[in-house]
Structure 1
């Protein structure tokens, strides 16, 4: 529940459209809802500017639907379930017809009103997402969708890895103009350091599990990014496009 939701609730009470008991019950439910198998955090949007996001992997179809229905009923904001399967979406969609599935991002979402904390929609408040290779796009898609649902303007540059660094250098003007950059790479993860050395904006590095044996499913890229000599580079967990999208959104919203 957002500040906007609370104001609407109180306005309805003052207008006599809701009883005192209904209003108290709605405000009490605004904290969290106990579904038995999950306690859905309805006050997170008020605290952080965006509703609780659901990690769908490992949940049954029934559990996922119940959580998403709870979130959708309690807020007029966008709802996001990450690492969701097409099978889960096929089960959720009939009960939540406004739900959509982004196959690249592996996410189910309901696109609604942008949060009140959303940044301005102009070129000076643009999040730029760069991937080293095409295989990194699923992580980038998760970051893009997350940032867009938070109300951000997003630009993507795919397949700009250092193995053909001229492809990256050709984007120098776009890189310098961005307010926040998400650099996504597997293999040895060198993209983050190169972008960090080119950019004025803060860079959020995302290591991916893309690569051959010695990449250790993203550990090599993670350690490389953590060891970057470029100043202003921060690192999130392996394949964590969602975490990068949230952090970039928070930075972008700062005036």
Structure 2
């Protein structure tokens, strides 16, 4: 249940069109729903503006399907991250309108009736190379499910800085920038020096040996000289998208 729905319910009770007992019935499962193998936090959307997100790794297809059906059945936006393609059939059956994004391994649904957040503008999701696209897509899908306008700008790493400079105006017009890069992780610092908005940096595990599966770009981003750069964990496109959405929300 989101804030708008709760307000309508309270107004209906105050106006006498809904009884207190009926309202209590609607609110009974608001804190959570116990499925036995999972306790779904239905209060999170009211508390944080976004419902619980399902982390697909380590869960069976049946468990994901059950949780997804519980969340989407309340009319809430749905996001499943890190879900392998072989788990898709039962999840798709449980939520037929959901869309699977193979590159980022995300499954998403934003109902047409979901309230649109008040936003400051659009979020630019910028990635250094094509190999970084799965993480960038995870960030973009997260933002889209949350109801935020997104512009995806791909393959503009610092090895060809002219590619980045060509898109400078579009990136600078964003309210928030998500910068995704592996290798040495220089993209967020370059962007931080070009724009006057928050930059959420995402190191990826892309790169040869000394990239250390993302540790090198992580440390590089953490030691950036650009003061408008904040960093999330390695390959954490979801965390970057969620954080950017909170910044972009009025």
TM-score by length of 2: 0.93
Residue of 222, 229, 237 corresponding to 1:226: 222
Contact 1:114–1:151, Cα closer than 8 Å, also in 2: no
* Residue 105 (structure 1) aligns with: 104
Could you tell me how far apart the structure 1 residues matched to 2:16 and 2:36 are? 34
- Listed as ranges, the gaps of 5+ residues in structure 1 are none
2:17 counterpart (12, 15, 18)? 15
Structure 1: how far apart are the matches of 2:183 and 2:227? 21
Q: State the shift of 1:115 in Å.
A: 5.6
Matched-pair contact (CA < 8 Å) for 2:82–2:106: yes
Which of 133, 142, 148 in structure 2 is aligned with 1:146?
142
Does residue 184 of the first structure (1) align with residue 180 of the second (2)? yes
Q: Is the 8 A contact 2:66 2:94 kept in 1?
A: no
1:228/1:79 CA distance change after superposition, 3 Å: same
SS of match in other structure, 1:93: helix
Q: Residue 181 of structure 1: SS of its match in structure 2?
A: strand
- Aligned CA-pair RMSD: 1.9
Partner SS for 1:70 = helix
TM-score w.r.t. the length of structure 1 is 0.91
2:26 match: 26
| Alpha-carbon offset, residue 14 of structure 1 | 4.2
Stretches of structure 2 lacking an aligned partner (at least 5 in a row)? none
Aligned pair 1:235/2:231, yes or no? Answer: yes
> 2: CA distance between counterparts of 1:2 and 1:176?
32
Q: Aligned residue for 2:71?
A: 71
- Do the aligned residues in 1 keep the contact of 2:136 with 2:180 (CA within 8 Å)? yes
Structure 1 residue 9: Cα displacement = 4.4
**Residue equivalent to 1:173:** 169
